[in-house]
């Protein structure tokens, strides 16, 4: 008998595998409707299911029997006319992985689903949660219902255990057959879905791949000299399971087991952290070491832990589980799977690089007359809200395309190279503000959001003071509010040296040619010469990305550009944008970087405190060029702030209490 099956919840990877296998093994219809903020589009969900069908599921399947919907306010009205849902798979998240935002979405979505059991015509509900709702140090967990005090050591865990009991009670009251499943930490490819899915062990492998790429883009040979150290308590182990095997086991148990039971979908035994480290090191081609003393962690190691966030607790977990041997996997996660996972991540990274190149090639370039001189700007993206990037003086647009690629599907992104460095005509700070006015007028944009970097935040603030109603909000990235004459301003060595150079060249332009080599060149050093692993790690994290070498030299590529750049900076430092900061009430997010050696992170934090409606956050282990190094994180911050979403679940950030600074 053909059924219509609803697959919903926040666990999208498991859901895609479950949908693919259900379509392949039956003639059933599938409604795939994840819930929560920023879930993939219907087209992305279909592509993910097709990918599973091609790579892991034997036999063909008709994806025309699947509908992808947004759960929204409810499904009963969104279903095609005449459709009834006989069977539901509700896939919720894992404590310490999804965070409070996913947990809140799971609670709201589950309760909405329970309210719709009758209108949808549901006969059977399979609830899938996590074995780790019991905690990370809970001893042995049996296949029995959660007791009232299970998970109470953690607020999010307690929510998930209470939610499981609530589902059982609601199904009993509605006469709906019910089964409870709990999975281990699923391991599998991201299936082309954007970002790092906050599901199962995805944060571990996604963070590792991103960190290794970022470090190697700064110093390719770093991991030839230093291991990546994990802080892990001796005796820790993880209950890992390949996501496809988890989906197979869920369907098998769903077909074979009577309603009312509790079933664990985990490997026969946990994988020790020591064995996992060996397997991951081999798969990712880097040395990894577990250490018991946090003082042994270098800045690179601490960055890895910070970006893992709460998932670091799993590296010392000691919880074990009963195993459903009727349908469960026969073995643990193995090195072959991890190598395939890493290969998939490498392919996804190359695909992302191609997409960024296509974004760069596909921008629409427009040239306008800006007060008697030509100004060429670029437009990327949709017809969504206008987001204007205010670039740094002297810099081209090459720093931005990775970030633009992440934002262009939701915003009309506008950016340009500030005039004046290449031009014999002097273009000063007021002229930069006028250029912004002209671009918005030509784009017929009455309002916009502003994203300013380095010197760009001063332009943003001056424009907001001049036209407050035109600016919805501002994100200021590694900005410099440096002004001459301030006593005790916390300059970086780079800023002090740059000012000396600018004053020398600005007053004596004939010296420009001999001064070109002082700036714009990447520091070169042999990591073998640095015996202290802590100093080596900090030096590496302070380096600019090597892929930006040509972009960094733009202001220093000729004597003429250096002279113009010096005069622009001297004018920039002559303006104190903080003098009237109290009058700027636009919502503002200041995003700083821990290892910004160009613009002082401390002055940037102090500057944020001068504005009445500002927040400040610092990104761990980041440089001045963080929008290029970590476009996914910066895009999440920018988009989340502009749309008013909670940002507390993003890992690797340190929020400031500006009241203390004020």
List pLDDT tens digits, range 111-123.
Answer: 999 999 998 999 9
Domain endpoint, select from 350, 379, 407: 350
Q: Looking at the structure, tell me whether residues 229 and 209 fall in a common domain.
A: yes
Q: Given 299, 319, 350, which residue is the final one in a domain?
A: 350
Quick one: 510 and 479 in the same domain?
no
How does pLDDT run across 278-326, given as a tens digit for each residue? Answer: 999 999 999 999 999 999 999 999 999 999 988 999 998 888 887 766 6
Are 10 and 46 contained in the same domain? yes
Tens digits of residue pLDDT in 397-442:
999 999 999 999 999 999 999 998 887 667 888 999 999 999 999 9
Q: Is 485 left (phi over 0), alpha (psi -120 to 50) or beta?
A: left
Q: Are 249 and 181 in contact (CB under 8 A)?
A: no
- Residue 401 Rama label (left phi>0; alpha psi -120 to 50; beta): alpha
- Are 268 and 325 in contact by the 8 Å Cβ rule? The answer is yes
Q: Within this chain, do residues 594 and 560 fall inside the same structural domain, yes or no?
A: no
Examine the domain organization and report whether 438 and 510 are in the same domain. no
Q: Does residue 340 share a domain with residue 213? A: yes
Percentage of the chain lying above the pLDDT 70 cut: 94
How confident is the model over 380-397, as pLDDT tens digits? 998 899 999 999 999 999
Query: In this structure, what token pair is assigned to residue 635?
Result: 């895009």
**Cα pseudo-dihedral 62, 67, 68, 74, rounded to 10:** -160
Report the interhelical angle of 335-362 vs 202-218 (nearest 10°): 60
The answer on 218 and 139 residing in a single domain is: yes
Residues 45 and 178 reside in one and the same domain: yes
Residue 9: the pLDDT is: 93
Pair of tokens at residue 111: 């309760």
Residue 356 lies in a domain: no
Residue 517 has pLDDT above 80, yes or no: no
The two tokens of residue 235 are 């005796």
Q: Could you say which of 319, 350, 381 is where a domain stops?
A: 350
Same domain, 430 and 455: yes
Q: What is the CATH number of the domain that holds 425?
A: 3.40.50.1820
| Residue whose entry in the numeric block shows the structure tokens 């798979």 | 89
141-178 residue pLDDT tens: 888 888 776 555 578 888 899 999 999 999 999 999 99
Residue 559 has pLDDT above 80, yes or no: yes
Q: In this structure, is residue 357 part of a structural domain?
A: no
pTM of the entire predicted model: 0.90
Residue 550: its pLDDT value, please? 87
C-beta of residue 471 within 8 angstroms of C-beta of residue 449: yes
Residues 179, 197, single domain; the answer is: yes
For residue 95, being part of any structural domain is answered with: yes
The upper half-sphere exposure of residue 420, i.e. CA atoms within 13 Å in the direction of its Cβ, equals 24
* Predicted confidence (pLDDT) at residue 365 exceeds the cutoff of 90: yes
Residues 309 and 431 in one domain: no
State the Cα–Cα distance between residues 585 and 50, nearest whole angstrom.
Answer: 48
C-alpha–C-alpha distance, residues 169 and 519, integer Å: 68
Dihedral of the CA atoms 288, 289, 291, 296 (nearest 10)? -70
Which has the higher per-residue pLDDT, 604 or 196?
604
What percent of the chain has pLDDT above 90?
58
Beta bridge partners of 141: 321
Query: What's the rounded mean pLDDT across residues 326-349?
Result: 82
Distance CA 474, CA 400 (A): 17
Lowest mean pLDDT among 83-92, 516-525, 542-551: 516-525
| Residue 70 within a domain | yes
Q: Tell me, what's the pLDDT at 377?
A: 96
pLDDT at 220: 94
- What distance in Å separates the CA atoms of residue 44 and residue 175, rounded to the nearest whole number? 35
> According to the 3-state scheme, what is the secondary structure of 543-557?
CCCHHHHHHHCHHHC
pLDDT band at 446 (very low <50, low <70, confident <90, very high): very high
Q: Do 97 and 246 sit in the same domain of this protein? A: yes
Handedness of CA 657, 390, 459, 562 (dihedral sign): positive
Residue 570 covered by a domain: no
Q: Residue 62's domain is classified under what CATH number?
A: 3.40.50.720
Q: How many domains does the chain have?
A: 3
What's the 3-state SS for 475-523?
EEECCCCCCCCCCCCCCCHHHHHHHHHHHHHHHCHHHHHHHHHHCCCCC
- Full residue range of the structural domain in which residue 462 is found: 365-484+576-661
Per-residue confidence (pLDDT) for residue 505, from 0 to 100: 82
């Amino acid at each position: 008998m053909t059924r219509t099956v609803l697959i919903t919840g926040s666990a999208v990877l498991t859901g895609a595998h479950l949908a693919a296998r259900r379509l392949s093994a039956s003639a059933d219809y599938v409604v795939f409707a994840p819930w929560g903020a920023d879930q993939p589009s219907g087209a992305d969900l279909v592509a993910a299911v097709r990918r599973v069908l091609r790579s892991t599921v034997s036999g063909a399947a008709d994806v025309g029997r699947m509908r992808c919907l947004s759960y929204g306010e409810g499904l009963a009205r969104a279903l095609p006319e005449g459709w009834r849902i006989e069977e539901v798979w509700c896939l919720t998240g894992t404590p310490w992985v999804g965070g409070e935002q996913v947990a809140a979405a799971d609670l709201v979505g589950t309760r909405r689903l329970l309210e719709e059991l009758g209108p949808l015509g549901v006969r059977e509900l399979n609830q899938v949660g996590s074995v780790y709702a019991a905690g990370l140090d809970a001893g042995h967990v049996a296949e029995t219902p959660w007791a009232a005090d299970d998970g109470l050591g953690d607020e999010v865990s307690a929510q998930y255990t209470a939610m499981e009991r609530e589902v059982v009670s609601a199904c009993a009251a509605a006469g709906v057959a019910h089964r409870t499943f709990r999975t281990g930490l699923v391991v599998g490819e991201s299936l082309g879905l954007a970002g790092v899915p906050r599901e199962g062990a995805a944060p571990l492998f996604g963070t590792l791949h991103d960190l290794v790429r970022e470090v190697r883009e700064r110093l390719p040979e770093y991991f030839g000299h230093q291991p990546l150290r994990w802080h892990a308590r001796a005796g820790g182990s993880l209950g890992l399971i390949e996501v496809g095997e988890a989906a197979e086991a869920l369907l098998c148990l769903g077909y074979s087991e009577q309603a009312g039971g509790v079933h664990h979908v985990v490997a026969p035994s946990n994988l020790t952290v020591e064995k996992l480290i060996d397997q991951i090191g081999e798969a990712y081609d880097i040395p990894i070491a577990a250490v018991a003393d946090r003082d042994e962690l270098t800045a690179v190691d601490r960055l890895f832990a910070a970006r893992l966030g709460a998932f670091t607790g799993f590296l010392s977990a000691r919880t074990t589980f009963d195993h459903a041997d009727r349908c469960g996997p026969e073995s643990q996660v193995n090195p072959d799977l991890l190598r395939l996972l890493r290969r998939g991540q490498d392919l996804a990274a190359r695909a992302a690089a191609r997409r960024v190149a296509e974004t760069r090639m596909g921008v629409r370039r427009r040239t306008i007359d800006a007060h008697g001189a030509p100004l060429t700007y670029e437009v990327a993206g949709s017809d969504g809200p206008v987001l204007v990037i205010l670039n740094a003086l002297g810099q081209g647009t090459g720093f931005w395309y990775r970030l633009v690629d992440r934002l262009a599907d939701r915003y009309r992104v506008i950016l340009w190279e500030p005039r004046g460095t290449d031009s014999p005509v002097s273009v000063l700070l007021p002229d930069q503000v006028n250029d912004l006015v002209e671009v918005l007028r030509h784009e017929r944009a009455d309002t916009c959001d502003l994203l300013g970097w380095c010197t760009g935040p001063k332009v943003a603030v001056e424009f907001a003071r001049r036209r407050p109603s035109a600016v919805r909000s501002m994100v200021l990235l590694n900005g410099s509010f440096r002004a001459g004459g301030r006593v005790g301003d916390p300059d970086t060595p780079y800023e002090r040296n740059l000012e000396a150079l600018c004053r020398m060249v600005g007053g004596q332009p004939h010296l420009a040619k001999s001064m070109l080599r002082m700036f714009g060149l990447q520091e070169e050093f042999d990591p073998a010469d640095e015996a202290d692993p802590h100093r080596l790690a900090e030096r590496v994290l302070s380096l600019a990305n090597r892929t930006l070498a040509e972009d960094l030299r733009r202001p220093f590529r000729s004597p003429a550009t250096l002279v113009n750049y010096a005069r622009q900076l001297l004018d920039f430092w002559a303006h104190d944008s903080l003098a009237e900061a109290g009058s700027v009430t636009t919502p503002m997010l200041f995003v700083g970087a821990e290892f910004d050696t160009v613009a002082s992170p401390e002055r940037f934090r102090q500057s944020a405190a001068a504005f009445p409606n500002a927040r400040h956050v610092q990104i761990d282990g980041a440089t001045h060029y963080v929008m290029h190094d970590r476009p996914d994180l910066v895009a999440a911050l920018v988009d989340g702030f502009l749309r008013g979403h909670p940002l507390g679940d993003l890992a690797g950030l340190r929020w400031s209490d500006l009241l203390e600074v004020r």
